[in-house]
Chain A
Amino acid sequence: MMNCKTFALAATAVTLACSAAADTSDKRIALSNNYAGNSWRQAMLTSWETVTGPAVSEGIVAAADAFTTAENQATEQAAQIQNMILEGYDAIVLNAASPTALNGAVKEACDAGIVVVSFDGIVTEPCAYRIAVDFKEMGRKQVEYLAGRMPDGGNLLEIRGLAGVFVDDEIHAGITAGVAEFPQFTIAGSVNGDWAQDVAQRAVAGVLPSLPEIVGVVTQGGDGYGAAQAIAAAGRPTPVIVMGNRQDELKWWGEQRDANGYETMSLSIAPGVSTLAFWVAQQVLDGASVPQDLTVPFLEITQDGLDEGLASTPEGGVANVEYSLEDAKAVIAGAN
């Protein structure tokens, strides 16, 4: 798991680093975000405020404003980026509605001398920096874990995300690759849970009657608790459901563990990846040599780390890690 430094420590380090360079104190950074309507995105925005607020008040950068589009549309976000170009921001940190549809606007920003750092929802435009999550590995790893737990294999239920979204295709491809690697498993059923507990609950309840015995459920995050509820309501034995770091999922897992020794794993991206993107943008503005493509590890909670994960996750929220400037430098150094 990633290290969770307290911000106070990181801030001291930052102040020291800045007295040396301090080239970014007049720079303004904007966050262009395409969606705010779920708990993961809310945690992402909260992390952004938590980390950039002190960075601004300490004069590391002049501004770090967050903007979210209302409709989750690429066209709307492209217009938003064009506004940011006109407003003269020095860097744009971007969680994109589409990997390709914003390329035109991103190119315009680059041509205007603006640093663009995309994360989570990355863009393919070569001039932008990408902080990507290995979503394929996120899918494959779930099957690998299940293979470790159940060497004999069996039937799996796959809960996918929102149809047509890049992340859904990537995680699905990883799960498919995992099943090819561990052929003792079969995907017996697949439903779209749209990363929402109530949608997953509804979809799983509808498909369960036609499914054979299920030994495991592979998920994409935000759907594990709903699946557990639907399976319990149908009176079926609880399979190994891979969780997605939501607090209600972790809490349910803890209750099951205490009641009957239930074991599983949980993995997702930490919403605080927005703060890593912030520091990477600051580093690029500072003149640091940063590779165009960075990879951020996903946040994994194991059986042993469950209590720690539960304790550090806010009630009703998502397990999170916020990044300091030092963490960002380490990520950059690791990729160079």
Chain B
Amino acid sequence: MKTLLARPWIWAWVAAALAFALTAAISQNQGAWGLAVAALTFSAFSVIVGLGQMFVITLGPGNVDLSIPATMTLAGTVSLKVMDGGAGAEVTGLAIALAIGAGVGLTNYLLILLIRIPPIIATLAASFLYQSLAIWSNRGLRVKPPESLAEFAVGRSLGLPNLALLALVLSVLAWVALNRAAYGRQISAIGQNPRAARLSGLPVEAVRLATYMLCAVLAGLCGFLLSCFSGGAALNMGQEYLLASIAVVVIGGSSIGGGRSNVPGIWAGALFLFLIVSMLNSYGLGAGVRLLMTGLIIIAIVAVGSRGPRGT
């Protein structure tokens, strides 16, 4: 129990469970299960972009990817346009979405490395480029996803939403990469002290390149899935995920300064963000109160979480 309380992600899970219980309490019959399914489905999107953002943030102060919304929009728009709603092009569509992610990640990294602009500015500036490309490629027209992909995105296996299962698989892979693979040790080392990491012979630049590409590829995948889920790509579809991707990392107990991250917290943060809005909506609170309370509760969780002892 003591070791459990020492986990940095425990408070986010407590908060998510509380928000669930309070919402389920006023739900109609069968409502709690419906709420759980909805929470898992929509959290999957935040988890996928949150995992990418987590790796970037782990790289240390100033590392953050602000181009996630634009990358999602670009990947969703172009891949759906190429598939054009027809059967047989699903794999091509997915490959295009992932390739766009890889291209975006490479571009972001080159801007940071070659022009020496801080990542926060580089990714923000580049996001205007990606957004413009998305506008130019289809002028905001919504193309329907192929039937098979739409069915997969809203479907369930073993009673659980397909998207949540996919996000879970990605989370396990991310957990292995972070905690059991050399890659995780390397990004943590760079995040804790980039100079020491460089002097000890770590391939710092290669690791950073891989991390920005990984983040953008996950954003591309998320844009692809969200487009298939909600019946088409829209130019403003990624907007919510700019703050959400950072919030799930921070709420989940990862250090915003880098060097210390965890995967279970991403899920807690994503579930919490969905459930808190559902809870405040269910209790009939207006948008102003809702935003205020969401902000206050996030500050409270982060404050409590960062006070507790940390296993190092």
Which of these, B235, B278, B281, contacts A37 with CB under 8 Å? B235
Counting CB contacts under 8 A, is B143 at the interface? yes
Chain B residues near A80 (CB, 8 Å)?
A: none
A15 to B174, CA, bound (A): 66
Known A163-B287, A208-B34, A248-B232; further 17 A-B contacts with Cβ < 8 A: A36-B235, A37-B135, A43-B140, A189-B284, A196-B234, A196-B237, A197-B230, A198-B226, A198-B230, A199-B240, A206-B42, A206-B281, A209-B28, A230-B38, A314-B141, A315-B143, A316-B144
A39 touches B140 (CB 8 A): yes
Q: Which of A185-222 contact B (CB under 8 A)?
A: 189-192, 194, 196-199, 201-203, 205-212
Interface residues of A in 154-208 (CB under 8 A from B): 160, 163-164, 189-192, 194, 196-199, 201-203, 205-208
CA distance A189 to B138 in the complex (A): 35
Looking at B19-27, B52-60, B113-121, B186-194, the stretch in contact with chain A turns out to be B19-27
B282 cross-chain contacts in A, Cβ below 8 A = 189, 206-207, 209-211
User: B154, A233: Cβ atoms under 8 Å?
Assistant: yes
Give residues of chain B (200-250) contacting chain A, Cβ–Cβ below 8 Å: 226, 229-232, 234-237, 239-240
Q: Does A226 contact B230, Cβ atoms closer than 8 Å?
A: yes
Q: Does A282 contact B (CB under 8 A)?
A: no
For the complex, is B9 an interface residue (Cβ under 8 Å from A)? no
Contacts of B23 in A (CB 8 A): 209-210
Q: Which residues of B contact A39 (CB under 8 A)?
A: 140-142, 234-235
A316 CA to B143 CA, complexed, in Å: 6
User: Inside 8 A of B35's CB, which chain A residues have their CB?
Assistant: 206, 209-210
Distance (whole angstroms) from the CB of A63 to the closest CB of chain B: 23
Please, which residues of chain A bring their CB within 8 A of the CB of B284?
A: 189-190
Q: Is the CB of A190 within 8 A of B281?
A: yes
A333 proximal to B (CB < 8 A): no
Count of chain B residues with a beta carbon within 8 Å of a chain A beta carbon: 46
Q: Decide yes or no whether A103 CB sits under 8 A from chain B.
A: no
Cβ-closest chain A residue relative to B238: A198
- How distant is the Cα of A12 from the Cα of B224 in the complex, in angstroms? 46
Q: Does B18 interact with chain A (Cβ within 8 Å)? A: no
**Residues of B contacting A233 in the complex (Cβ-Cβ under 8 angstroms):** 38, 41, 154
B172 contacts partner chain A, Cβ-Cβ < 8 Å: no
Is A238 part of the contact surface with B, judged by Cβ < 8 Å? no
Contact A316 B278 (CB under 8 A): no
What's the nearest-Cβ distance from chain B to residue A109, in Å? 27
B278 touches A70 (CB 8 A): no
Would you give the shortest CB distance from B182 to chain A, in whole angstroms? 37
* Residues B1-48 near A (CB distance < 8 A): 23-24, 26-28, 31-32, 34-35, 38-39, 41-42
Whole-angstrom distance between the Cβ of B76 and the nearest chain A Cβ: 10
Tell whether, in the assembled complex, residue B28 and residue A42 are in contact, meaning their CB atoms are under 8 Å apart.
no
Do residues B234 and A38 form an inter-chain contact, with CB atoms below 8 A?
Answer: yes
For residue B226, give the distance in angstroms from its CB to the closest CB of chain A.
6
For residue A201, which residue of chain B has the nearest CB?
A: B230
Whether A208 lies near B38 (C-beta < 8 A) is yes
Q: Is the Cβ of B42 less than 8 Å from the Cβ of A202? A: yes
Interface contact B24-A198, CB-CB below 8 Å: no
Contact call B288/A163, Cβ cutoff below 8 A: yes
